[in-house]
Structure 1
């Protein structure tokens, strides 16, 4: 099964660095660095906003928890918002490609 991970980063450099490490470590097969997003959120009892860089990572569900944990380790925020989920309806080619990460296909 395939999986996706969403994580906003403070800037393009931090997003690109994390993506490169995750690709090198074979924890993701792709990172879509989407560009600037405006985040509006409550933090420490106050409403604030920030410009962030959104990243959508593609991986295999068998290593989803490991990938999420690694993103958290690499992330420059003290409490990053990282969300991972299993995608149960990928296209066959996508499923096969992401399955290579988990050694399901040679």
Structure 2
């Protein structure tokens, strides 16, 4: 059975998010990508509290593709630590079929 996963990563701008999204979908590592933003992120970096406007890339994939997808994002992302996170989720049968078909 297909286990759906949503994976998110913040990006410095829309162009970066779009480039990563296109690579993931074209490589069939994700069935779909959504880009949200700008959002304001507050985080600690080098012992200082920072604030940045970012765009969040969310990818819909299957558990079997998560490792490859995370590797793609890590190698192409401009951040030293891209803060890639993912979680398993539920989906209806039609969506599960679509995810499986598009990530083969």
Within the alignment, does 1:43 sit opposite 2:78 as a pair?
A: no
Distance 2:91 2:70 in 1: 20
**Partners in 1 of 2:49 and 2:76 — Cα distance?**
26
> Mind listing any 5+ residue stretches in structure 2 that lack a counterpart?
none
Equivalent pairs counted in the alignment come to 102
Q: What is the RMSD of the two structures over their aligned residues, measured on CA atoms?
A: 1.1
TM-score in terms of structure 2 length = 0.92
TM-score by structure 1 length?
Answer: 0.90
Partner of 1:56 in structure 2?
58
Out of 13, 37, 53, the residue aligned to residue 11 of structure 1 is: 13
Tell me if the contact between 2:30 and 2:103 (Cα under 8 Å) persists in the aligned partners. no
Runs of at least 5 residues in structure 1 that lack an aligned partner in the other structure: none
